[in-house]
Amino acid sequence: MSAKPNARIGATFARLAREGRTALVPFVTAGWPVREATLPVLHALVEGGADVIELGVPFSDPMADGPMIQRANEAALAARVGMADVLAWVRAFRETDHATPIVLMGYANPIERMGQHAFVEACVSAGVDGVIVVDYPPEECGEFTALLRARGIDPIFLLAPTSTGARIEMVAREASGYVYYVSLKGVTGAGNLDVAEVLSRVARIKQTVRLPVGVGFGIRDSATARAIAQGADAVVIGTRLLQALEGASPEQARTRARDFVADIRAALDAPASQESPER
């Protein structure tokens, strides 16, 4: 199925490709570390050098996420953060930032409760650019994917070390914007990456998928981000960022978010001869 890709996501990756740079995609849970920090943190991530932002929609059973992101989800839900709040923060962000893509990442249940059509229209109104739904496999969400595409929102799908050739081909057909490669068998924040193995798998995915390929779920520091960037089009960092924000006031969260992302951005952009710093 063909469709015009989202303008902001497509333009961002096209610009980075021309510049020979890797996209930095931080993930943050909406409402973490406190409700009032969400909008300042979004702007701080851009100030630090984020190219795309993945904004997590709180959910009570985030099955793919490790203890840190689960804790962030629980705290956000305890603060009564819901889909309406998430979309309101995106809308407020768009009042001053018209360029940085925002991708909502979460699970099917909140979308189903709202209704797929209503959700897609609300995303359009707020200024959402892409959607990742962990438990919407491409085989089972054709109607939802079509709704997103028709309204200029990119359906972004996950691939994993266990993905078959058939699954990779299906994602190549159905996805737009970029593809998210889950680098580990397990949940977010778990284990240590075998960088060589990840780069090998990314190279194989790129033989089929013509979209940019981002890597996440195991990038814990600037050195690992720099190593993964040798073969990936984007690096996604979530768990360590959420750890850095834990316990912070809104103003502290803004500073910590900006500084954390700036450190990763500096490592990604450092000349090849320069040894990258490690957090």
Euclidean distance between CA atoms 211 and 200, whole angstroms: 17
Euclidean distance between CA atoms 105 and 123, whole angstroms: 12
Q: Which positions are catalytic?
A: 54, 65
Contacts of 185 (CB under 8 A, 6+ apart): 160, 161, 162
Structure tokens at 259: 């500084």
**230, 186 in Cβ contact below 8 A?**
no
b/e per residue 21-37 (b: at least 16 CB within 10 A): ebbbbbbbbbbbbbbeb
